[in-house]
Amino acid sequence: MAKIWVDDKWYEVGADQSLLEACLELGFDLPYFCWHPALGSVGACRQCAVKQYRDEKDTRGRLVMSCMTPASEGARISIKDADAASFRAGVVEGLMQNHPHDCPVCDEGGECHLQDMTVMTGHNYRQTTYPKRTFRNQNLGPLINHEMNRCIQCYRCVRYYREYAGGRDLDAFASRNQVFFGRHQEGTLQNEFAGNLVEICPTGVFTDKTLKKHYTRKWDLQMAPSVCVHCGLGCNTTAAERYGSLRRILNRYNGHVNGYFLCDRGRFGYEFVRGEQRIKQTLARQDGKLKPLPKAKAIEQLGRVLPGNQKVIGIGSPRASLEANFALRTLVGPERFFSGMSDQGSHLVSLMEEILRQGPARTPSLSEIEISDAVLVLGEDVTNVAPRIALALRQSVRQQPMEFTDKLKIPRWLDHAVREAIQDVKGPLFIAAPSATRLDDAATATYRAAPDDLARLGFAIAHALDPQAPDVPDLAAGARSLAEQIAAALKSAKRPLVISGPSSSSAAVIEAAANVARGLAKAGQAVGLAFTMPEANSLGANLMGGGDLSAAFKAVEEGRADTVIILENDLYLKAPAAAVDRFLDAARHVIAIDYLSTPTVAKSELALPAGAFAESDGTLVSSEGRAQRFFQAYIPKDDIQQSWRWLIEMMRAAGRSEAESWSTLDDVIAALAQGISALAKITEAAPSAKFRKLGEKIARAPNRYSGRTSMLANINVSEPKPPDDPDSALAFSMEGYQEHPPPSLTPFFWAPGWNSIQSLNKFQSEIKGPLRGGDPGVRLIEPPETANGSFFSSVPKPFAARPEEWLLVPLYHIFGSEELSRQAPAVAELAPKPYLAVNSEDAAHLQVQAGDQIEVNLAGTAHRLPVAIHPDLPKGIAGFPAGVVSLEGTGLLAWSKLSRL
Amino acid sequence: MEKVLTKDLQPGGMPLDLKGYEKAGGYQGLRKALKMTPKEVVEVIKNSGLRGRGGAGFPTGMKWSFVPTGKDAPHPKYLCANADEMEPGTFKDRLLMESTPHQLIEGMIVAAYAIEADVAYIFLRGEYIVAAERLRKALAEAYENNCLGKNILGSGYNLDMHLHLSGGRYMCGEETGLLNALEGKRANPRTKPPFPQTSGLFGKPTIVQNVETLCNIHHIVNNGPDWFKGLSKSDDGGTKIYGASGKVKRPGLWELPMGTTIREILEEHAGGMKEGLKFRGLLPGGASTDFLVEEHLDVKMDFNEVQKAGSRMGTGTMVVLDDRTCPVGMVHNLEHFFAQESCGWCTPCWSGLSWAEKMLKGLEEGQGQESDLDRLAFVCRFAAPGNTFCALAPGAVEPLQSALKYFREDFERHVREKRCPWR
């Protein structure tokens, strides 16, 4: 702590921060542009100037940039000082010289940091009459819009894009008052985290191009706290609606999870909610086709099928909420409930859960991943599977080098000084994966091999750490020495981390990762073990229990079941098509609840339109084991309702007694917490619907929400009552509590004078730290204090390429591999075309070249794919784009002959 | 008067080759230095009171003493000669490099030895093609004769020296902008502290030193600090290469004792104003220094005295303004240069200077308003030292702020007459 004086009052502030951070933390309104809490200080914009005095006798003082000056003990500053205030107004005046003043037509308007800071400094009139400089804008692809004339040269974009996110194709060009921030030539921004530019840019240079298609001002949006559904990490988002449709996703700060940033899949994948693939009406099979049926009739139909039916089974979903899964489980009974994961997925997720539950390694939050100082990634391409981890790892490699800059007494927040001292030195990061990954440029060493060989490397690292861990016989010398190098790096780290997951479709890889973590823990190290999860609620679904898909198929096959209720799940992505066909054809009744018209829905006799994430309330368990609640941004139109509500109606139709006591989300949560002890803590994920602040519900819409009284004026001038929300403490209105709701119930960040996302500093207990009131979510899995258990011991044999067969391995793509986001047009545009990849040597052997057609034979089905050459793939392995190409339930490691066509 | 830096100047300006240079006493300072410890060399330079000739006048020995030494010091350490002479009106380093390249190289080797540097760079202004050619040749000779490379002159000391030609930005002359440029990055200035002495080129300890400063080093080692101090007429030791440009009779460069008065330089060496012209003022040390006028002619040209008079000695090469040249036009020309050369990093610089340039252009073209003078004054305050990230903008507004002070009537005439009275 340090004691500082601000305008003659003293305050205690945290040590190791700049005066700007200290002032913002104390609640002062001090304007800034180039500083960003995640990017630190560089002193470019000069906006945050304050007067600093040597001591109490110094009456003259001198201007300093608060972002570049440490809040050291005894520092005396004035924010109000006239010189400082007029200098700050001068800076805005300088910035506005060339700004086009086009707020009315700018997408940033109403949530623009430049607007806010201009008002804050008091600058009003442009005193110059000379022409403004102008630029030519670029098409930066389907995600980001570019409007350079608005630029104020704060350099945040390139600092974020290049220095923080590791991107290369955005740069600052030219100089003086004509610095151009863009690409060397037009084209799609290549970095997977480019979307954050929308929030990083303090004005309207980089804006959300998908929002532009259905634009709405922030003050006209109705918003709700949400959780990303496009991977297992559970990044917190804000879902925003206007006129009954989802308009955009914004990052919702969670100090423990996503911090300030999302990946582009998470930000732009939302358009599936608006897409053509949505089911909006209840559909029933009539004359062999699915046709709309009034909802009441559908309920009647359920009333004919369900009561007394002893042969109903339910297939849950790793992308549906706990509540929806639990409602289905309650409807059909636990023993007739299946988790909805593929056989292999279920097996691997269970294995990972067991490892995490048993310990000794603890699953880290994303913010802990970011500060790990030595990392092993085993069998994962995190950029494409759990993208936000990759951004965290780009920061983790700076941890060890920053110990050196600490010695030079360079404060860590003095960003460019730190970067100039560190240069390209990176801390240990080892990536072992079947193919090249987008993070390889940050890696100390990479290892590319077949899944079994990846596992062998992992086992060898564990053995090098602890001789009690099983050794790996016949390990190649190169792999052996790499294993020793990795073991040494992890062993000498303070916060080592192992990352693995199911993407290599290999239990051995996961077990090897667990062994490495155990080896480190046994040596007394505080090791983190992070597993990626295939879907948004895989871990939750696993904690819920239930058999795998084969078990469900068997129940129908053996005649124990004939009625199947499928919750938010496309079985064709989980099992071979023939098996799913057999299963669905054999069942007498197939009832699907989903928001997308999937092949599974197409096979059902009754399809019930479900609310997508922004239209639903519920809880998801992230790969960290963090249960997080998401809330409806709006009540969906037509027949759409939340899955668990459909299920309550089904329970009622089935005559189930629970239906009587279940009417709200809290009822379902209470029953769930009571029914499943592993999930008991989910009640703590967010306050219940009874919560009130100052006697009010929390408003989903900001104060300035305009047009509220005119939205329906074309129909009726008397305004209808806003819909009730029995399920949450949020109100579908601008009326209600606005200021500082509990973090898990914060629908948007706004503070007086701070209309942009930068208002976050008013919601944090410390800058970059937790939200006031604690970051949302509750961790469900903590390893025991004293961990038992032993090393896994089944070390696989080395991978051996076969003469005329190839091992098919899924390769993941941030855009395309995930089921929901690939329905979003902007994401779909960036998804790869189908391919089958082999290395150059194998291509030569097969006598094929890139683009030639090749045939894959799997379980009697032939798939034709164009060849792609991936020189980095190991010999004997063929890769296909997961999700883009569906090979009999992806995720399967299968051997196939390849034949040239 | 004893000449030091220009004593070996040959008629015609061709440099001596290594043999000739050695015959004239060259590489003796190096030989002597190599017999001393690096610490002793630093001490000698410290005691000599040598101050940096690039413009800021920072004591050289003190700067060197901040470089970490000893077993735990990070390596490689670097020495960079700042030969990016882009200050308008300044051409003294060009003379030294074109006519005495070995002198720079010898000074650099001694300086590098003093800070235990492993690699040295000459960061040369890209347009100095002749200097580049002669330095390249001299470097090759120095390597051939074991003055560079491994085990220099049997001393056990190793040093590599490279010549780097600048891509051509004024900002590259700012020491940290120079380092960024040398690393292949935008020539933006760096945060200080940390200073280059501890975290410089490629993050390693680095000394950046002006060419003229480096040319003095081995002479001081050879002749001692007292000799050096004795060369001067003021508190700052040594000689100084002074220059004059503008409409004087004999524009040029002269090596004179530090502390020679402006009047002596202007009247005796430059021969006074051309016939029919009257002196109105001068920028004493390049374009980024405040105007001095008639009343300052007896000021001694050294770091402290010029500062007391309200300007800076800067590079010591003065630009003279006569009574037939429009001061507003001259300042406009300068601000055009500075606005163009702003790297675009900090707001007062990139925005303030281009605003000033536009207003001055407006004045020159008859579109100026009375309030422009206040706005120009505002820009000068806006870009004052401390308000900007580096020294470019504060230097850039020095001629402007002093022109507003000494030639205000000329500015007002531009507004009143809605034209440039000199056209």
CA distance A613 to chain B (A): 43
Q: pLDDT, tens digit, for every residue of A434-480? A: 999 999 999 999 999 999 999 999 999 999 999 999 999 999 999 99
| Range A301-325 average pLDDT | 96
Burial class, A288, CB count within 10 angstroms (exposed 0-12 / middle 13-18 / buried 19+): exposed
- Rounded mean pLDDT of chain A? 95
Phi, psi of A613, rounded to the nearest 5 degrees: -55, -40
- Residue by residue, DSSP assigns B263-275 as HIIIIIIS-SBPT
CB contact under 8 A, A46 and B345: no
Q: What are the strands, taking DSSP E only, across A79-176?
A: 144-146, 171-173
CB A244 within 8 A of CB A398: no
pLDDT value of residue A362? 95
Residues 6+ apart with CB under 8 A from A528: A361, A362, A363, A364, A368, A369, A372, A495, A496, A497, A498, A517
pLDDT value of residue A728? 98
CB contact under 8 A, B388 and A421: no
Q: Please give the DSSP secondary-structure letter assigned to residue A562.
A: -
* Class of domain A2-96 as given by CATH: alpha beta
CA B294, CA A875: separation in Å to the nearest integer? 84
Beta-bridge partner residues of A674: none
CA B273, CA B292: separation in Å to the nearest integer? 16
- Residue by residue, DSSP assigns B306-317 as HHHTTS--TTSE
Q: Report the DSSP pairing between strands A853-858 and A861-869.
A: antiparallel
Q: Please give the DSSP secondary-structure letter assigned to residue B348.
A: I
- How many structural domains does chain B have? 3
Token representation of residue B392:
């470019």
CB contact under 8 A, B348 and A90: yes
Query: Which residues belong to CATH 3.10.20.740 in chain A?
Result: 2-96
CA distance A56 to chain B (A): 21
Query: Which residues belong to CATH 3.40.228.10 in chain A?
Result: 356-533
Picking from A809, A806, A805, A827, the residue whose alpha carbon sits closest to that of residue A818 is: A827
Task: Name the domain boundary from B305, B322, B339.
Answer: B322
CA distance B127 to chain A (A): 20
Q: Which residues of A touch B182 (CB under 8 A)?
A: none
How many percent of chain A have pLDDT more than 70? Answer: 99
* Helix A415-422 / helix A399-407 crossing angle, nearest 10 deg: 100
pTM of the predicted model as reported, rounded to 2 decimal places: 0.97
Q: Which residues of A touch B362 (CB under 8 A)?
A: 130
Residues 6+ apart with CB under 8 A from A291: A283, A284, A285
- When pLDDT is cut at 50, 70 and 90, the band that residue A691 belongs to is very high
pLDDT value of residue A731? 96
Q: Which residues of B touch A155 (CB under 8 A)?
A: 345
**A840, pLDDT greater than 70:** yes
Averaged over successive runs of 10 residues, the pLDDT of chain B (423 residues) comes to 92 95 97 97 97 94 96 96 96 97 98 98 97 98 98 98 96 96 97 96 98 98 97 94 97 97 97 97 96 98 96 96 97 98 97 96 95 96 96 97 98 97 90
- Residue by residue, DSSP assigns A834-859 as P-EEE-HHHHHHHT--TT-EEEEEET
| Range A253-257 average pLDDT | 98
Considering the domain architecture, whether residues B223 and B126 belong to the same structural domain is answered as yes
CB A856 within 8 A of CB A898: yes
Residue B392 is assigned to a structural domain of this protein: yes
CA distance B225 to chain A (A): 33
Considering the domain architecture, whether residues B154 and B6 belong to the same structural domain is answered as yes
CATH of residue B43's domain is: 3.40.50.11540
CA A548, CA A892: separation in Å to the nearest integer? 15
Q: Quick one: which H or E segment has residue B219?
A: helix B211-223
CA distance B323 to chain A (A): 30
Residue B44 is assigned to a structural domain of this protein: yes
Partner residue facing A177 (CB), from B169, B350, B371 = B350
Mutate to test the interface with B, among A32, A91, A151, A177 (most CBs of B within 10 A): A177
pLDDT value of residue A887? 76
Residue B250 is assigned to a structural domain of this protein: yes
- Rounded mean pLDDT of chain B? 97
CB crowding A683-722: b at 16 or more within 10 Å, else e:
bebbbebebebeeebbbbbbeebeeeeeeeeeeeeeeeeb
| Range A330-337 average pLDDT | 96
Q: pLDDT, tens digit, for every residue of A862-901? A: 889 999 999 999 999 999 999 998 776 545 678 999 998 8
pLDDT value of residue A890? 46
Q: Which residues of B touch A95 (CB under 8 A)?
A: 347, 351
Helix (H, G, I), strand (E, B) or coil at A590: strand
Considering the domain architecture, whether residues B339 and B317 belong to the same structural domain is answered as no
Chain B interface, Cβ < 8 Å to A = 169, 171, 186, 190-191, 193-194, 198-199, 202-203, 339-348, 350-355, 358-359, 362, 371, 375, 378, 382, 386-389
| Range A516-539 average pLDDT | 96
Partner residue facing A43 (CB), from B191, B193, B378 = B191
CB contact under 8 A, B199 and A417: yes
CA B257, CA A218: separation in Å to the nearest integer? 69
CATH of residue B350's domain is: 1.20.1440.230
CA B192, CA B197: separation in Å to the nearest integer? 11
Angle at Cα A693 formed by Cα A690 and Cα A698, nearest 5°? 80
Considering the domain architecture, whether residues B193 and B80 belong to the same structural domain is answered as yes
* CATH tag, A805-900: 2.40.40.20
CA A867, CA A843: separation in Å to the nearest integer? 8
Considering the domain architecture, whether residues B267 and B128 belong to the same structural domain is answered as no
Q: Is the ipTM of this complex over 0.85?
A: yes
Considering the domain architecture, whether residues B202 and B98 belong to the same structural domain is answered as yes
Phi, psi of B255, rounded to the nearest 5 degrees: -85, 120
CATH of residue B313's domain is: 3.10.20.600
CB A47 within 8 A of CB A120: no
Task: Name the domain boundary from B322, B347, B374.
Answer: B322
Helix (H, G, I), strand (E, B) or coil at B278: coil
Q: pLDDT, tens digit, for every residue of A709-754? A: 677 788 888 878 889 999 999 999 999 999 899 999 999 999 999 9
Query: Which residues belong to CATH 2.40.40.20 in chain A?
Result: 805-900
Q: pLDDT, tens digit, for every residue of B233-248? A: 999 999 999 999 999 9
Structural domain harbouring B189? 2-230
Considering the domain architecture, whether residues B409 and B273 belong to the same structural domain is answered as no
Higher-confidence residue of A126 and B206: namely B206
CB contact under 8 A, B346 and A46: yes
Q: Please give the DSSP secondary-structure letter assigned to residue B198.
A: T
Phi, psi of A735, rounded to the nearest 5 degrees: -85, 130
CB contact under 8 A, A90 and B382: yes
Q: How many residues does chain B have?
A: 423
CA A70, CA A61: separation in Å to the nearest integer? 16
- Residue for token pair 């403490």: A729
CB B277 within 8 A of CB B261: no
Residue B422 is assigned to a structural domain of this protein: no
Partner residue facing A62 (CB), from B353, B378, B386 = B386
Q: pLDDT, tens digit, for every residue of A536-561? A: 999 999 999 999 999 999 999 999 99
Q: Which residues of A touch B195 (CB under 8 A)?
A: none
Q: Which residues of B touch A48 (CB under 8 A)?
A: none
Burial class, A805, CB count within 10 angstroms (exposed 0-12 / middle 13-18 / buried 19+): middle
Considering the domain architecture, whether residues B32 and B155 belong to the same structural domain is answered as yes
Torsion of CA A877, A881, A886, A892, to 10 degrees: 40
pLDDT value of residue A885? 87
Q: Which CATH number fits domain A356-533: 3.90.170.10, 1.20.120.1200, 1.10.3720.10, 3.40.228.10?
A: 3.40.228.10
Token representation of residue A858:
């799997």
Considering the domain architecture, whether residues B310 and B333 belong to the same structural domain is answered as no
Q: Report the DSSP pairing between strands A236-242 and A245-251.
A: antiparallel
pLDDT value of residue A270? 98
Q: Which residues of A touch B388 (CB under 8 A)?
A: 46
CA distance B114 to chain A (A): 22
CA distance A444 to chain B (A): 19
Task: Name the domain boundary from B322, B347, B367.
Answer: B322
* Helix A577-586 / helix A549-557 crossing angle, nearest 10 deg: 40
Residue B423 is assigned to a structural domain of this protein: no
CB contact under 8 A, B191 and A44: no
Partner residue facing B186 (CB), from A42, A172, A422 = A172
CB crowding A242-261: b at 16 or more within 10 Å, else e:
beeebbbbbbbbbbbbbbbb
